[in-house]
Every structure is written in C-alpha cells, then in structure tokens.
Structure 1
Amino acid sequence: MKGKGIWRRIGAVAVVAGAASMVLAGCSGNGASGSTTGAATAAPAHLRIIVNISPNLTVAYWTKLFDTYEKANPGVTVSLERTGTISASDKLNQDLAAGDPPDIVQQVTPTADTAKLFTDLSKQSWTKDTPLVDNYKINGKTYLVGAGQQVQSLVFYNKAAFEKAGLDASTIKTVAQFTSAMGKLKDAGYQPLQTAGQWVTGGQFTMFNDSTTMTKTPDWIKQRRAGDVSFAGDKDYVNSLKSYKSWVDKGYLEKSDLGLAYADGQTNFLEGKSAMYMMGSFFVPAADQASKSDEIGVFSMPTTGTYPTKQYSNIADPYVVVKQSKNQQAAIDLVKWLTTDKKAVASELAADGNFRKGYTYKMSSLGEGVQKIIDASPGGFVEAADEQPVPGYSTQLNSQIQALFSGSTPQQVAQNLDTWWDSQAQ
C-alpha cells in the first residue's frame, strides 16, 4: 500500500530558476482566469516554487512553462533554486526553519498535522473542477490542487521479448500467470523484470500489491490505522511478499539492480535489456522521447482476485501555496493557471503521461494502450486524507522490500512493518 503520491519519482528537486528564452509551444494565458487570452492580471511579484525534477519533468521543461506565464503576466517572475537530491518536503522544512519560505511547493501533500503550513483554498471557486480535489481535503478544507491524475497499476513489456518467449500479454491476468511468464522470458535469454534502487523497489511492490489488496479492501489503510488489520495478518499482503521473494530467489529480479538509480533502470528497459517494467503512466513520455513506444506494450497489473483491478490513482502535478508566503494572491494566481489553463494543463499532462477528463493531447500508441486500460478498469482508488499511511511509511517499506534481496523472509518483513507502524502510531 502507499500513501497518495508517495511514489512520484522523488528525485532531485528544484525551485524553478529565472526567466528563460524558451516559449511553451502554443501556450498563452493569464494567471487569474484559466483562459488563454494572454491578458495580464496577476499581481506583480517574485515567486519561488519548489517542483519535482525527473527524467520527464526537467529543469528545461519547467523553465519553458513558467516563462510562458511570465510573458503573459508582466511584473511576475518565477525563479529557481537548486536543491540537490533532497525531497520537496525537506526543502520546504529547511526554508521555513531559515525564515525564508517559498511561495508554492509541488509534490508535497498536506496531512492533518501539516495543513497549518499551507493556504486554505476552499473559497477559491475554481478549485472545485480540479482533479481528485475532494479526495485530498483535510477536515473539509482544500489545501492541495493538481493539474491531472496519474495511474500506477501497470506493467509495460517489450513486444519482441514476448514474441521470442511465445507469450501473449492479453492472457496474463493472475500472479501465477505473471510468474510463469517471467520463467519463459528468462529461458528466452531476457532479464524478466526490471527494478532499481532509490524509491523504485518499494514503489513497484506497492503497485503490485495494491492491485489486489486495494481492489478487495479500498479502505485497508484506514483499517490499519485503526488496528483492525495488520501486515503480517493479511493473507493478500503476505502472499504478495512471498511472490516477490520468489522472483528474487529465481533470479527474475536482479539483486545488482538495487545499485541502479531510477533513471538507469528505466534506461535498461528502454534499451531492451529487460522484458517487463512495473511503473506508472509517467513512463509513457520517457518511451515516447526515446522513440520506443511502438516497441512496448502495456497490461493491467496481475492479481490474485478480480481482473482487471481497480487503478491506483494519485493527483498529478499537485500544488500548495505556503501560508508564510508574502505573495499570497500572486501565488494563488499562478497555481490557478497551472491547474485550470487549458494549454498549460495539456502541457503538464503530456509531459508526464497523465490524464484528465475533458483535456486531450496527442498520444502515442503506448499512451493509447494506457487509456484503454483506464477505460476498462472497474474504477480506481486514491489514498488521501485519512487513507494515508503514517508518515515515513514509504521509506520504511522501501527498506524492508530491499531486505528481501539480502535474506529477509516475507514473514519477517511483514512483522517488521507492523512493529514499525505501531511504534509510529503511538
């Protein structure tokens, strides 16, 4: 299980730097209405915004996007600070401790404990039409808004590898069938399943496990918070750990892959060094940019229960306004533009392979494959508000899943997660 947005490729984080000379193709707009008239209405201000930097969402991308806003809103500048490899929340905490708060932060999700750090956007009428906004409310109040939504219950596969191994992806629906396919891929000379270190190990396990657990019990996290279920006592959770451990023991997952960065694991799959890759819809743009989309297929995550499973969704390109910001109105105007302007939103969706009802962009064959899976899904689940794990869970889970590579048993991992969770919840 994962808390909303936990596995959003938390890599290098930047605060977007200065005006750039590049212009976002086809984009114009104002910061106040979400229209694309180019009228300058945002209050003059110098804004600092912490954003997620990933192989898709590069510094160049963000600079290009914000340059568009600056040109439509003279007097507003959006500037960058480089933060290295720390998370957005750590960067925010550093800035707040130093008495130098940023104005906007992307990729930080408020909780009941941290909501006081952010501006209440509940009275902003435009927020009601942003994706998943109600799922992320805290005590009925809106602090977080996003440009789209992301799905993560997906397995991408190398079509040539499947052909060589004599596999038909449309027949892989159960965990047993998935495991059998890995054996055939290994026999055909392929590394069956690509993983990596950093956050990827725990992230992929979560994508795999949640497809069964959350389809059966959508409020599992809430029940765990209440003490009504446990990791070690949940048959589905333990079976997921056993399956994953079996893949390690059979060599379907390479132990050396723990030394790879997220981007390096992705490159291995794109270069055909591995046959399958569990990842969210944000992988699609990477395949597109590498001109590999037509060589790759996608199917919904296998399960021990109902197939196809519900799709895990989280808010994509989420933004909060920092309460200590001295540029409240200007910051709100920019966030409104980022989450309501048709062309800005379409750009963000396309850049990271995300989706939003009523917003379209040109998709590759792989993107269309993901869309078909979404259309066929019986629904989705979102872990937000009181459906979030306790803070620090994703880091702990990641460590425990990586321990399966070095000898820990599924039972030990489940018990360790219970012990850790209970110690944090006290």
Structure 2
Amino acid sequence: MVNINYDCNKESKIGGIMKKVVLLTLLILSLAVPVYTAGTVESGKTSEIVEIDFQIWVTPNLTVEYWEDLVADFHKKNPDIKVNLVQAITGESTADNFLRTRLAAGNFPDVCHVFTEDMFIEAGALMPLPIDDDVKRLRNLKGMIKDDGNLYTYDSITLVHGLIYYNKQLFEKAGITQLPKTQAEFDVVCEKLLTAGIVPISVAGADWTSGFVFSILSAPQVYYNNTQWYKDRNAKKVSFYDTDWTESATRFKNMYEKGYIYKGAPAMDYTASQQFFLDGKAAMYPMGSWFSGSPEALATGFEIGVIAPPTKDGGSYLAAIANRNGYGVSAKTKHPEAAIALAKYMGLDPYPVSKRLALEGGFSDMENAEDYTYDMTYIQNEINDLYKNTKVMTNNYNHPIGANPPDGFTDSMTRAAQTLLTGGSVKAALSEMENYWTANQK
C-alpha cells in the first residue's frame, strides 16, 4: 500500500503543467485500485482488519465448537474484526488464576469471560464500558454498576446454582414415591437407594466441583440465615466456626462416610462425575442449571428430574447468580472499539445469549426478554417451575453475599471440601476457610 502525503503549502510552487501531470498520475493510480467487499475498502476508505484475543471458558456444555460458532457469527456481522480464541486450560471453577497469570505476564486478552471481576477492576485490568440504550435494557443494570459509577462487564443471564438432578428410574426402583424437602427426608431417600444397591450421589472430589457442591448444599442454611454473611465476616461479626457452617460441614462429611456420596468421589473430576450420573451409576447429581441443556443429559435412557437442596425446615431456597459471568475488555487493548463490540455481542446479542441460555438453562435479564427465548428442554421446564415457585436466595460461592469474598476463596472452599471427603476433621476444613479469609481479606 502506498501512502501519499500531499503538502498544500507547496502547491503554489508547482507549475501548471506539473500540476496536471500529478493529478493525471493520481487519477490513473486510483483507477488501478481494486474494489474490495465490505471490511476492506468501503466508500473509498481503506479499512484494515484488526485482530483481538478472546479468552473463553470451555465446559462440557460450552464446548470449543460452541465458541467457534459464536465467533463465526460475530465475524459475519463485523468482517473487519478477526477474533483469536484463547482457551483457559484449568481444572478450577473459574478462569481467575489463568487471567491473573496472563495479567502478570503482560499479555492480558483483549476480551475475557470473567467471573470474579472485582479483582481485575481493582488491578486496573478492565476498562469501563459504554452504557448505551441496549445496555440500559438490563433489568439489573443498577446492581451491575460499581461504586465508581462504571460498568465493567456485559452480561444478561441469570443462572441457578443450587440444584440436585435425580434419575427418576432409579428413584422408582428404590421405591421412592415422595421427593425430599427436609434433610431428614433426604437421608431416608439415600438409605432407600443404598438398600436397593444404588449409589445415591455423584460428586467430583478431585477438582473445584467438590467445593462448589459443598457450597450449594451449605448455602440454604448459611447464606439464607444471613444474606450479608461475607460482609459480616469482613467485619468479624461471624466466623466459619459458627453453628451454621459447623453443621453444614459436619453434614457433608457424614454424607460421605455414610455412603450417600460415592466412595470413589475423591478420585473423580468434573467430567467423570457427570458421566457417572449419566451412565445411571448414581441416582443424584448436584450441579447448576447449565447441566440441563447438555446434549448428554437429553440423550440418556432415563428421565431426569430436579429438586432443590434439602433444608432443615423443609423450605426451598435456591442459590442463583445474576449478571456475574460477563465479558470484560482489557484496559490496555490496542483495539478498544473492536474489543467492546465483541464483549457487547457476547453479553447482549440475542444469538449468543439465546444459545447460552439454551445450553445452561438460564433466564434472560433483559427487559425485552422475548427476544431471547429458546426451546426449553423438559429438564429446563422443571427448573423453570422450581425457580418460579421457590424462595430464591441470590448468590453463593465466589459471588457477593453482602460483599465479595477474598480472591481465590473458592480454592480454599475446594480444599475444605476435599478435607471432608478424605477423612479430615470438620475443624480442619473450617480452619482452612477461616485462616484463608483472615490472611487474604482486603
């Protein structure tokens, strides 16, 4: 490509004949330039293709092929932008540590699928995002804006965390005719399953899933009793040694020791644990709403039902997160317009959002929710009914409960759960979380 710099101050020095020669030459050159499709040359202006890196979070549902399809659709709508996928390879519950490593190395991706956004905001890694008319249709926009008045991620999805999926065929085989609501009723169900030679619950003890399950089983007691628990822990008003956490940890440990949780759990990872349930080897599987849209779940030879985690009083409380798995833009991206366009597309455009809702069984947070409809699976219809008729308790795990937990707290929760699954004491598990919080609280 030839750049021609034309200095108007020298024009008067060019004779009439020379001026005609120059203009004729320029005309010939312009006629020789080929005409490109949109994205390269438009309206006589050369448009360069820019490249941006996009960190993706791959799960059994959100596969690499899923992300490739979304990027292909984005590229059709934005042919001037080439997106390079960066997969966060990790056995953890989020891409937080992966992103922290990239941030420390100075190669933070242009766009990231961020979970614990506050740590990256505090580190100056994310830029404030524009709030246009599309963004203003977010029903929870006020809750997404930070104390500094800025929005840092685009996301329009609510996901239910605390669910227990069950194999209706195995329940029938064990003679279970009434679904449990209280912890006592749940224990009776587990005993009936054991008597029938059926493993009651599949849990992955070898990775982050153990801490996640520990959290969703504990949340209805700990966080329902105190919806400001994390904030109160920062103020030292509560402790992990208090009654609610002690009882929850004791129950989790007892469930494993009684055989309610599969004895091979400590050696199983997320994928293996899910497959164990799908193969009909366990009757129940605690997981979030995203499992409901997986093709594997729909292809089983048995029907899957859904219940809320059991509680002491029989009340049905679900942990749900809203707008907490969004898309942020690097504060140092060289292509902010392109990066913002991709983040907004992933977080708000009906095509990717509807696809993710279908795969993860979520609910749209947009005022124009009818634009984000999808054909619910029969499992998602059950979740929808449960969601509408249940007292929902927002947040648990690594999400705000009055305040955000310390960075990396979910790793501590995983270690606590693994302690309980491998013969460790309740006190040791609680000390892990208590000491981690004390050492890392900001």
**Interval of TM-score (by shorter of Structure 1 and Structure 2):** 0.7 to 0.9
* CA-CA distance at 1:98 after TM superposition: 3.5
**Contact in 2 for aligned 1:202/1:394 (Cα 8 Å):** yes
> Distance in 2 between the 1:368 and 1:98 partners?
45
User: Residue 297 in 1 paired to residue 305 in 2?
Assistant: yes
Equivalent position amino acid for 1:56 in 2: N
- What pairs up with 1:65-84 in 2 under 5 angstroms? 65-84=70-89
**Contact in 1 for aligned 2:231/2:401 (Cα 8 Å):** no
- Counterpart of 1:339? 347
Using a 3 Å threshold, how does the CA distance of structure 1 residues 99 and 200 change in structure 2: closer, same or farther? Answer: closer
- What pairs up with 1:18-29 in 2 under 5 angstroms? none
Equivalent position amino acid for 1:179 in 2: D
- Counterpart of 1:217? 226
User: Residue 403 in 1 paired to residue 419 in 2?
Assistant: yes
- Counterpart of 2:177? 168
Residue 363 of structure 1 aligns to a residue whose secondary structure is coil
Using a 3 Å threshold, how does the CA distance of structure 1 residues 410 and 128 change in structure 2: closer, same or farther? Answer: farther
Using a 3 Å threshold, how does the CA distance of structure 1 residues 161 and 306 change in structure 2: closer, same or farther? Answer: closer
| Alpha-carbon displacement from aligned partner over 1:88-121 (angstroms, at most 9, x marks no partner) | 3333333333433321000332226734210112
User: Residue 371 in 1 paired to residue 384 in 2?
Assistant: yes
Using a 3 Å threshold, how does the CA distance of structure 1 residues 278 and 215 change in structure 2: closer, same or farther? Answer: same
Residue 259 of structure 2 aligns to a residue whose secondary structure is coil
2:265 paired residue among 257, 262, 284: 257
Equivalent position amino acid for 2:174 in 1: A
* CA-CA distance at 1:138 after TM superposition: 2.8
| Structure 1 unmatched runs, 5+ | 1-41
* CA-CA distance at 1:333 after TM superposition: 1.3
- Counterpart of 1:61? 66
- What pairs up with 1:59-208 in 2 under 5 angstroms? 59-85=64-90, 88-111=95-118, 114-115=121-122, 116-121=124-129, 123-130=131-138, 132-139=140-147, 140-170=149-179, 172-196=180-204, 197-208=206-217
| Structure 2 unmatched runs, 5+ | 1-46
Residue 254 of structure 1 aligns to a residue whose secondary structure is coil
> Distance in 2 between the 1:109 and 1:293 partners?
37
**Contact in 2 for aligned 1:285/1:352 (Cα 8 Å):** yes
**Contact in 1 for aligned 2:227/2:401 (Cα 8 Å):** no
> Distance in 2 between the 1:211 and 1:293 partners?
32
- Counterpart of 1:423? 439
> Distance in 2 between the 1:160 and 1:249 partners?
25
> Distance in 2 between the 1:251 and 1:408 partners?
16
> Distance in 1 between the 2:342 and 2:327 partners?
10
- What pairs up with 1:296-335 in 2 under 5 angstroms? 296-305=304-313, 307-315=315-323, 317-335=325-343
Name whichever of 377-386 and 362-371 sits farther off. Answer: 377-386
**Contact in 2 for aligned 1:130/1:339 (Cα 8 Å):** no
Name whichever of 342-351 and 154-163 sits farther off. Answer: 342-351
Return structure 1 stretches of 4+ with deviation > 6 angstroms: none
> Distance in 1 between the 2:406 and 2:261 partners?
29
> Distance in 2 between the 1:306 and 1:289 partners?
28
> Distance in 2 between the 1:271 and 1:282 partners?
18
Percent identity, please. 28
> Distance in 1 between the 2:207 and 2:376 partners?
29
* CA-CA distance at 1:317 after TM superposition: 4.5
Alpha-carbon RMSD: 2.3
* CA-CA distance at 1:63 after TM superposition: 0.3
> Distance in 2 between the 1:317 and 1:418 partners?
26
> Distance in 2 between the 1:113 and 1:228 partners?
27
Equivalent position amino acid for 1:217 in 2: N
> Distance in 2 between the 1:385 and 1:241 partners?
19
> Distance in 2 between the 1:95 and 1:421 partners?
24
> Distance in 2 between the 1:131 and 1:144 partners?
15
**Contact in 2 for aligned 1:44/1:330 (Cα 8 Å):** no
* CA-CA distance at 1:144 after TM superposition: 1.9
**Contact in 2 for aligned 1:51/1:106 (Cα 8 Å):** yes
Name whichever of 259-268 and 130-139 sits farther off. Answer: 130-139
**Contact in 2 for aligned 1:136/1:384 (Cα 8 Å):** no
Name whichever of 405-414 and 46-55 sits farther off. Answer: 405-414
> Distance in 1 between the 2:126 and 2:227 partners?
28
User: Residue 384 in 1 paired to residue 400 in 2?
Assistant: yes
